[in-house]
């Protein structure tokens, strides 16, 4: 999958008219990339250890930044992709425009989960709210606040090499579970500027419920470690702390809804208004995210409306998974990293 995606992304860069670039694969295990002017493979040796004890993906990313490994100048740019991420011509043009503006050191754009094939329709529709969050929460914080204090993804990250090396991924074990969020908020606390990039990239949603649950559990544990990190000033992690603890307390909300018919409690009208508003926004995220994900001209309005309906019906499934992730994330060891399987060839 990695080799195929390298060649697909090279072709997309070529079709977009990009010439001064190469794709570097950083991996713990060699995947036999044929190296040439457009590709380079960096294999992290088992003996490598960072000064702070960073682990997992953070360790590999830090190795690629080391003086004896890095081949880039501080004025070059890195576009971080996960192993399954596919560029589009729109994202390539958006990245070039972002770089040419020269106002910010880091940028990020929208990732959709339907355009490169759907393996599990229900789980893919559950991920459509992430598309809406990219267009709302992520776009607002990057275009208005120029800081990722509400969250930061690890893919579709565009960074100035000098800034990335200055912040580094060598920030200890607590930074290694959600290394993306930790890096983004740490960089903001150090005064670096962020912006939103136009153009989508494509990824796939998890293929099964177990992987979906494992993914959410890791996110919860990683962001909790970020929220409790003493290396990041409190004013930069207060909003992400509120966000993750609203997730942690989600089981209480579910329990309240389930018990209300049996033990009715008269609540103040203001609380009713607030909960109704939050529920409406939650539902809207799925509707907007579904319409934003699918191309109506290709798929057809009727099918998109069907997907919206299926997504609404599937919301209880997602809620139960998110609640299960809370219980598992709190009970399980925090410094673990689960890699979600995204290689279709492994399913044959």
Supply the DSSP string of 241-256, one letter for each residue.
HHHHHHHHTHHHHHHH
DSSP states of 273-318: HHHHHHHHHHHHHHHHHHHHHS-HHHH-HHHHHHHHHHHHHHHHHH
The predicted pLDDT at position 276 comes to 87
DSSP H stretches of helix in 154-202: 161-167, 179-189
**Domain-located, residue 273:** no
How many CB atoms sit inside 10 A of residue 107's CB?
A: 26
pLDDT number for residue 48 = 96
Q: Which of 266, 237, 138 is nearest to 194 (CA)?
A: 138
Q: What is the pLDDT of residue 111?
A: 97
**Dist. CA 91–CA 109, nearest whole Å:** 8
pTM of the model: 0.92
d(CA 186, CA 85): 24
Does residue 261 lie in a domain region? no
What is the structure's pLDDT at 33?
Answer: 87
The encoded tokens of residue 17 equal 């008219």
3-state secondary structure of 205: coil
Q: What is the mean pLDDT of each run of 10 residues along the chain (348 residues)?
A: 93 94 94 88 96 95 96 97 95 97 96 93 93 95 95 95 97 94 97 97 93 92 94 95 92 84 86 87 92 92 94 86 89 78 63
Two tokens, residue 135: 């267009």
Confirm whether 174 is domain-assigned.
yes
* Residue 291 domain-assigned (yes or no): no
Nearest-angstrom CA–CA distance, 258 and 256 = 5
What is the number of domains present in the chain? Answer: 1
Domain range enclosing 117: 2-208
114 assigned to some structural domain: yes
In a domain, 86, yes or no: yes
CA 285/CA 132 separation, integer angstroms: 5
d(CA 138, CA 197): 10
- Residue 135's CATH number: 3.90.550.10
Residues 199 and 88: beta-carbon distance below 8 Å: yes
194: its two tokens: 């962020």
Tokens describing residue 331: 């009970």
Establish if 315 belongs to a structural domain.
no
Residue at 222 is within a domain: no
Position 100 scores a pLDDT of 96
């Amino acid at each position: 999958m990695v080799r195929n995606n390298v060649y697909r992304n090279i072709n997309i860069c070529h079709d977009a008219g990009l010439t001064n670039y190469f794709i570097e694969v950083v991996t713990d295990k060699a995947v036999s990339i044929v190296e040439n002017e457009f590709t380079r493979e960096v294999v992290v040796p088992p003996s490598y250890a960072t000064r702070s004890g960073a682990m997992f993906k953070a360790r590999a990313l830090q190795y690629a930044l080391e003086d004896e490994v890095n081949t880039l100048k501080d004025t070059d740019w890195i576009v971080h992709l996960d192993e399954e991420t596919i560029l589009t011509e729109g994202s390539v043009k958006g990245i070039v425009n972002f770089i040419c503006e020269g106002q910010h050191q880091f940028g990020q754009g929208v990732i959709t989960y339907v355009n490169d094939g759907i393996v599990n329709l229900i789980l893919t529709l559950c991920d459509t709210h992430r598309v809406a969050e990219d267009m709302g929460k992520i776009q607002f914080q990057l275009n208005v606040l120029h800081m990722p204090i509400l969250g930061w993804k690890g893919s579709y990250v565009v960074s100035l090499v000098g800034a990335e090396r200055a912040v580094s991924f060598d920030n200890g074990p607590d930074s290694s579970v959600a290394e993306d969020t930790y890096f983004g908020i740490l960089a903001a606390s150090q005064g670096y500027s962020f912006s939103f990039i136009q153009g989508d990239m494509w990824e796939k949603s998890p293929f099964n419920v177990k992987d979906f649950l494992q993914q959410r559990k890791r996110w919860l544990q990683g962001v909790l470690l970020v929220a409790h990190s003493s290396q990041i000033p409190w004013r930069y992690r207060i909003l992400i702390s509120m966000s993750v603890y609203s997730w942690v307390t989600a089981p209480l909300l579910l329990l309240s809804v389930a018990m209300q018919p049996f033990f009715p409690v008269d609540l103040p009208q203001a609380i009713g208004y607030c909960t109704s508003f939050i529920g409406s926004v939650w539902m809207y995220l799925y509707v907007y995210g579904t319409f934003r994900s699918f191309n109506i001209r290709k798929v057809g309005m009727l099918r998109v409306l069907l997907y919206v309906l299926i997504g609404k019906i599937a919301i209880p499934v997602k809620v139960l998974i998110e609640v299960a992730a809370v219980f598992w994330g709190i009970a399980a060891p925090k410094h673990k990293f689960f890699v979600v399987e995204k290689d279709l060839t492994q399913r044959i």
